[in-house]
Amino acid sequence: MFNQASENNNVNDVPSSPLHIVDCALVTMATGYRAQNLREFSEGVSKVPPDSIYHHFWGRLLHPSFDEPEFSNDFAAWARHGLHERSLAERLSVIDPVEFPDVEGLREEILEIVDERLDKQEYIPWSKADNQFYFLRSKLIILDSGIEVRTLEELKEALKMIPIGGVFYHLIDARRRTENRTDDFSEWLKSKGRDEYDDLVRRIEAIDPFFSCLETIRQKLIAIFDEHVPEDDDE
């Protein structure tokens, strides 16, 4: 159970507001934008709503595509397999959205790469009619996991069982929700105002979630907590 405060007065005690763990799922929707050539793709990237850019980078973590392990986002995969532009695909694939403060900065980076390719050669790459790029967007649906934690030890144990969607919500989606653009776990720890949590927070915030699957991210979190949170000897 993770909804009861610890009775032990030790370093793991966090006698303040609990952290409610949730699960989430993505519901995908059309934007009305599509592209058959690189010029149309550039126009689409410039016009689609921010949550479409977000979806084509981050949505793959909740809906992994096992046949596209080489490319880290949908734009890069289409550039390679739709337009047969390997160099462009490689440039798009190394974009790390974590490095940008917001989606608009990410959008500008994509457009800079694509427009540079358009300016270099006279011909415009086209895809076949049945392989157009459809810009999608997604809505995040929040689901109750029934897990609530009050101590570091409880959070450590909860990480072993929270749904994969919870990892996405609390470590990734939180970066566009929290005031400090960080994950929910770090925000919760920072709210305690205790210096002994500083290194733990630093380790959590150092995780780059983009180039790992959600289960790998979970294992990284568990390993960090195993190092920083001692076992409860009073059990």
Instruction: Give the tens place of pLDDT for each residue, 64-90.
Output: 654 456 788 999 999 999 999 999 999
Q: 59 lies in which domain range? A: 25-137
Going by the DSSP 8-state scheme, the letter that residue 128 receives in this structure is -
For helices 86-93 and 74-81, the axis angle rounded to 10 degrees is 170
In a domain, 186, yes or no: no
In a domain, 143, yes or no: no
Instruction: Output the pTM of the full model.
Output: 0.83
- 3-state SS, residue 187: helix
Write the CA distances from 49 to 45, 64, 98, 104, integer angstroms: 9, 22, 19, 10
Q: Check residue 28 and give its pLDDT.
A: 95
Runs of H (alpha helix) within the chain: 38-47, 50-62, 74-81, 86-93, 103-120, 152-158, 164-167, 184-190, 198-205, 214-228
Q: Which position has the token pair 């049945």?
A: 130
In a domain, 31, yes or no: yes
Q: Is the pLDDT of residue 232 over 70?
A: no
The overall average pLDDT reported for the chain is 88
Number of domains comprising the chain: 1
In a domain, 210, yes or no: no
CA dihedral 120, 121, 122, 128 (to 10 degrees): -120
User: How far apart are the C-alpha atoms of 18 and 145, rounded to whole Å?
Assistant: 14
Q: Check residue 212 and give its pLDDT.
A: 86
- For 192-210, write each residue's pLDDT tens digit: 888 889 999 999 999 998 8
Residue 57 in contact with residue 197, Cβ under 8 Å?
no
In a domain, 77, yes or no: yes
Reading the block at residue 12, the tokens are 């793991």
- Mean pLDDT over 160-178 rounds to 93
In a domain, 112, yes or no: yes
**Dihedral of CA 33/34/37/41: which sign?**
positive
